[in-house]
Amino acid sequence: MKKILALLFITSFGGEVVKAQNSEMGFLRMEATAGLYTTKDIFTDIEYPTSGVWGRNATGTYFLGISFFRYKKLEVGISAGYQKAYISNPVYSFDYNTGINIEDNLDVTYLTFIPNVRLNWVSSEDNKFEMYSSFGLGLTNVREDYEVQTFRDDSYLIPAFDITGFGIRLGNKFGGFMEVGFGTKGLMRAGLSLRL
């Protein structure tokens, strides 16, 4: 309880102290991102062999994120993402009661929560251009849904990471961005962002 009260105190009154030191605290930026060719596509292909890691199985991933702390060129935020993987080959399992292989269809849903740190390498004075990189580490909940053998449905956690090697944002308060990276958000991503 003491820790919660201390956190509330720092959040409520500490903002002015942090602001005086060239920082900002609060909801600073909201982003919506869509990406392709994620590490979840690779995981799906290894865990459940499919017809192609980035063929029909590449359904895309979607993230919403916020930045809540900025100090000079450094930003801290959190993102939540969704991805659905459709297994393109039937899943077979041996039924020991009947002695036959059972053909089944499987859908896998990934829900990801990932805190991230962003470094703005270049920002124009009018705030209409930014060049940046970021790194995030979090968790993904994997949910397996079988069509026939529903008793095999499962849900478990796996680690999630994301590295944005290069990103550019154009626009002032409302803008668009494109990124190249590797991880849970995909190799190629694009989206919209709003500075608050």
Burial of 101 (0-12, 13-18, 19+ CB in 10 A): exposed
Mean pLDDT of 146-166: 84
| 121-132: pLDDT as tens digits | 998 888 899 999
Distance CA 127, CA 144 (A): 44
Are 117 and 137 contacting, i.e. CB atoms less than 8 angstroms apart?
Answer: no
For residue 108, give the nearest of 148, 133, 144 by alpha carbon: 144
- What's the pTM? 0.74
Mean pLDDT of 181-191: 92
pLDDT reported for residue 3? 46
